Amino acid sequence: MSGVLHQRELREGGVHDLPQIVQIMQDAFEPRFGEAWTSAQCMGMLSLPGVWMVIASLDGKDIGFALTRLVADEAELLLLATRPGARRRGVGGALLRAVIEEARARGAAQIFLEVRAGNSAAKLYNREGFAKVGERTNYYRGKSGQLFDAHTYARKLN
């Protein structure tokens, strides 16, 4: 019996991955919501202590990433994105679980994230044990100037 074997892997990312990361964000984030970061914003964040990135690839092609930071004993998932063609295939969940495990290994007691109200990714966060703990009104500014609320989620790690 023959078939196609797909090899998915997670690896640590860095500044050298920024061109692929920016492209993933452009593919993944709807421009009207204004959620994608610029390469300069990502580079600035990656230069800070306690920040790490995990990249998901499939058959050698980068298809998703997560950018996280740790301050004291709190981690914050800053960005998580997967290319549209990789959605609902376990990539986002694998990235999120990798971030949770790395945050725990780095001594985080809790991890936070923010997501735009109405973003379907909230279902993933709920499945992985996150609970809504707050809301920021008019947090995101879309390309047209429209404002969108952000929901804050948290998960204890110990």
Angle at the Cα of 88 from the Cα atoms of 51 and 109, rounded to 5 degrees:
35
**If residue 107 lies in a helix (H) or strand (E), which one and from where to where?**
none
Q: Which positions are catalytic?
A: 114, 125
How far does Cα 92 stand from its chain's mean position?
8
Cα–Cα distances (Å) from 17 to 3, 13, 88, 110, in that order, read 31, 6, 24, 27
More confident residue, 118 or 142: 118
- Over residues 72-120, the pLDDT tens digits come to 999 999 999 999 887 877 899 999 999 999 999 999 999 999 999 988 8
How does residue 2 score in pLDDT terms, banded at 50, 70 and 90?
very low
CA distance 83 to 85: 6
**Which domains occur in the chain, in start order?**
8-156 (3.40.630.30)
pTM for the complete prediction? 0.90
